[in-house]
Structure 1
Amino acid sequence: MTRALSAFFLLFVFIGQAAAASDPPPSSDQSVNELLASASQAVGRENYRGVMVYLREDQLDTLRVTHRFADGLEQERLVSLTGQPREVIRRGGVVTSILPDSQVVLISRRKRDGLLGSVTEFSAERMRRHYKVSDEGQRRLADRVGRLISIQPMDQYRYGYRMLIDEKTRLPLKLDLLRNGDVLEQLMFTEIEFPESIPDSAFEPGFDIEGFRVIKHRAVEVAEESVPKEAWTPTSLPPGFELAEDGVRRVTEDGFVRQMLFTDGVATVSAFIAPAGLRKPLDGATTMGAVNAYGHVIDDTQITVVGEVPAVTVREIAENLERGGERAQVRAPADGDG
């Protein structure tokens, strides 16, 4: 749940940064681009707290959200109000997840200069080649007035997006991920306030975690190994998608995975290429909410392509990876693959 929440916020941060970095478009487009850029800043820089609902696959989760930016440090606390008790506290790049029913505390680190950093290089002009961006006017939510921005795809290879941006603070109040006009995932504040300051106590755990088992997850490291010349390469990609980053990651002491990041300036897709047997293989297609994945084993290599894009996009990327003339032949999808 929290991974999807972060992915949604990151998506609109990238959109805003791309818009801010572009050359000035005509006045109406410029207004929308400036709004997107302001929204990307507000997500990380505003103080806010409230209640948010997260809807996906007909399942509804409710979260209490507290966010603060002070003295250059971003902090956030998410508390689940439905289902099993859960709590996530983020302080800078350190994320602490508390699972009281299991009496477990998970601690992980997320580097800010991660793999997705290069997405900011893509321009708003590039985004407009494959999406129609429009201002749908004012809407009211959680007793606040916002502007509704629509980002609609021009083909089958990407999803659509819709966000309601607060007029005063520029924080996104509602975020929708769309497929053919239908909502796949939705984040929406039902209550929100913007205090000038938030006390340190607001970011303390709400559970007594004494005696809980603590599990520390080591951050994925960028390995010194370079990508070999005979490595897998894409022969063609879905329209608008380009290779943004390509590198080798260390996932265990002696286990390495190559990760390729493709983007159209809004959506991102990752291809993971690893020795067969390193992990349980994915064979064929799988879908979890808005995320589609396609996997296949070619001789000694496991190829897995995953992204918050339609199934046709990950399948086409997987089918067009080639190593020295050896193309990754992937089975045709079953009827209904979305």
Structure 2
Amino acid sequence: MTRALSAFLWLFVFSALAGAAYAADDAPSESSINDLLGRASQAVRSENYRGILVYLREGQLDTLRVTHRYSDGLEQERLVSLTGQPREVIRRGGVVTSILPNNEVVLISRHKRESLLGSVAQFSADRMREHYSVSDMGQRRLADRIGRLVRIEPRDKYRYGYRMLIDEQTQLPLKLDLMRDNDVLEQLMFTQIEFPGSIPESEFEPGYDIEGFRVVKHQAVQVEDKPVPEDAWQPTDLPPGFELAEDGVRRVTESGYVRQMLFTDGVATVSAFIAPEGLRKPLEGATTMGAVNAFGHVVEGTQITVVGEVPAITVEQIARNLVRETKAAGN
């Protein structure tokens, strides 16, 4: 995955984490928190904005030009990498076009709106308070705008913390820090941003002449109507606060199926993939890439892989506590 696409996906994390923020000097009521939660989440999708986004991860700094608009029910976005290898990502609704000019390749993928992450935007303020403490750190200025800085701290070892700066006029997150104790694991920050009333269609056209480029079309992994069998792998002894949010079967090859589960504590999300051994290259044990931890092992001829932006202990506990539940004889 390119850095540009990683940043593209992070913009959706903004909408997820915005549910933890509030922007009042006094302790707000639950209704006012939920109201701001909805407006902050919507701002990422519905605001027109154009700016420069800095993405810091594992000591590497990437800079992106971001253009976003929402018009007539259609969300569009264009990201252009300003550092490293030239890259460009253009999203129009559920169609994502990635342009790699050095390789003369255009990658086109389609994503159904009813994806496994679709339900994660619905957060429970009560669940969040149980596992995170939230503090209002007052106003801060960034990119010539005034925002409200919110600190979200975990109450245990199973999740990371966050610092988020919310623009007070538009509720768009201007900065997001992913924290482990006092260390910043990843950071997204707008260094320049504006909110035009309208953005012309021309700003979502490719910036490169792609005539003659090789076009690779990637079909999105389909969620099958195939039901999850009752005598299948089930989660037990999940880390505190995590619940199964979605569960489905996906086809990844003509004859290969993977079961995917999505767990959330109301802020963080973790994905579990259960597949026949040999369908993909197996992961044995733990691995880390920045803030992302993964744990995999093979049990009874089945590859179990759990991945998420959570501490290593969380993905391992989920992976080791997915067990096969079999029906009793005669049932």
* Shared fold (TM-score, shorter chain, > 0.5): yes
Per-residue Cα deviation, 1:49-83 (whole angstroms, up to 9, x for no partner)? 11110001000000001111111111110000000
How far apart in 2 are the matches of 1:18 and 1:224? 34
Residues 280-328 of structure 1: CA distance to partner in whole angstroms, max 9, x if unpaired?
1111111111110001112311110001111000001111111148xxx
| Amino acid in the other structure paired with 1:61 | D
Tell me the equivalent position of 2:52: 51
| Equivalence map 1:162-201=2 (5 Å) | 162-201=163-202
When structure 1 is superposed on structure 2, of 198-207 and 228-237 the one drifting more is: 228-237
Deviations 1:144-195 (A, max 9, x none): 1111111111000001111111111111111111111211110101111111
Deviates more, 1:28-37 or 1:211-220: 28-37
How far apart, CA to CA, are the structure 2 residues paired with 1:115 and 1:3?
A: 18
1:84 corresponds to which residue? 85
Q: Alignment identity in percent? A: 73
Partner Cα distance (1:97, 1:74) in 2: 17
Provide Cα deviations, 1:91-143, integer angstroms capped at 9, x if missing partner: 11100000000100000111221112232444111111001112111000111
d(CA) in 1 for partners of 2:313 and 2:17?
A: 23
* 1:1-338 aligned within 5 A: 1-16=3-18, 27=28, 31-324=32-325
CA RMSD of aligned residues (A): 1.9
Kindly provide the CA deviation profile for residues 184-208 of structure 1, in whole angstroms up to 9, marking residues without a partner as x: 1101011111111111111110100
316-325 vs 31-40, greater mean Cα deviation: 31-40
Residue 17 of structure 1 deviates from its aligned partner by 6.0
- Name the CA distance, whole Å, in 1 between partners of 2:149 and 2:27: 19
1:231 positional shift: 1.1
Query: Does the Cα contact within 8 Å between 2:295 and 2:315 map onto a contact in 1?
Result: yes
Structure 1 pair 32–183 and aligned structure 2 pair: CA distance change class (3 A): farther
Tell me the amino acid that sits aligned with residue 156 of structure 1: K
Task: For residue 6 of structure 2, give the secondary structure of its aligned residue in structure 1.
Answer: helix
1:29 and 1:177, CA in 2 relative to 1: closer, same or farther beyond 3 A? farther
- 3-state SS in 1 of match to 2:140: strand
Alpha-carbon distance in 1 for matches of 2:296, 2:238: 17
Tell me the distance in 2 between the aligned counterparts of 1:75 and 1:149.
28
Quick one: which amino acid aligns to residue 185 of structure 1? E
Task: Work out the CA distance in 2 between the residues paired with 1:177 and 1:120.
Answer: 18
Determine if contact 2:5/2:89 at 8 Å carries over to the other structure. Answer: no
Name the aligned partner's letter for residue 286 of structure 1.
T
Aligned-partner Cα distance in 2 for 1:235–1:40: 31
**1:99 partner amino acid:** L
Inter-partner Cα distance in structure 2 for 1:185 and 1:312: 19
1:257-279 Cα offsets, whole Å, 9 max, x none, are: 00111110111111100011101
CA distance in 2, matches of 1:174, 1:104: 32
Number of positions where the alignment pairs a residue of Structure 1 with one of Structure 2: 321
Conserved 8 A contact 1:93-1:110: yes
On the 8 A contact 2:4/2:88 being kept in 1, the answer is no
Q: Which runs of 5+ in 2 are unaligned?
A: 327-331
Instruction: Indicate how the Cα distance of structure 1 residues 18 and 134 shifts in structure 2: closer, same or farther if over 3 A, else same.
Output: closer
Runs of 5+ consecutive residues of structure 1 not aligned to the other structure:
326-338
CA distance in structure 1 between the partners assigned to 2:27 and 2:148 by the alignment: 19
Amino acid paired to 2:304: I
Q: Equivalents in 1 of 2:159, 2:95: separation in Å?
A: 32
1:4 maps to a residue whose letter is S
Return the TM-score normalized by structure 2. Answer: 0.92
SS in structure 1 of the partner of residue 102 of structure 2:
coil
- Whole-Å separation in 2 of the counterparts to 1:95 and 1:121: 24
Paired residue secondary structure (2:279): coil
The separation in 2 between residues aligned to 1:149 and 1:225, in whole angstroms, is 43
Q: Read off the aligned partner of 2:103 and give its amino acid letter.
A: S
* 8 Å contact from structure 1 (residues 11, 267) kept in 2: no
Q: Do 2:4 and 2:80's aligned partners in 1 also have CA atoms closer than 8 Å?
A: no
**Is the CA contact 1:15–1:37 (under 8 Å) kept in the aligned structure 2?**
no
Contact 1:56 1:289 in 2 (8 A): yes
Contact kept, 8 Å, 1:255 with 1:278, in 2: the verdict is yes
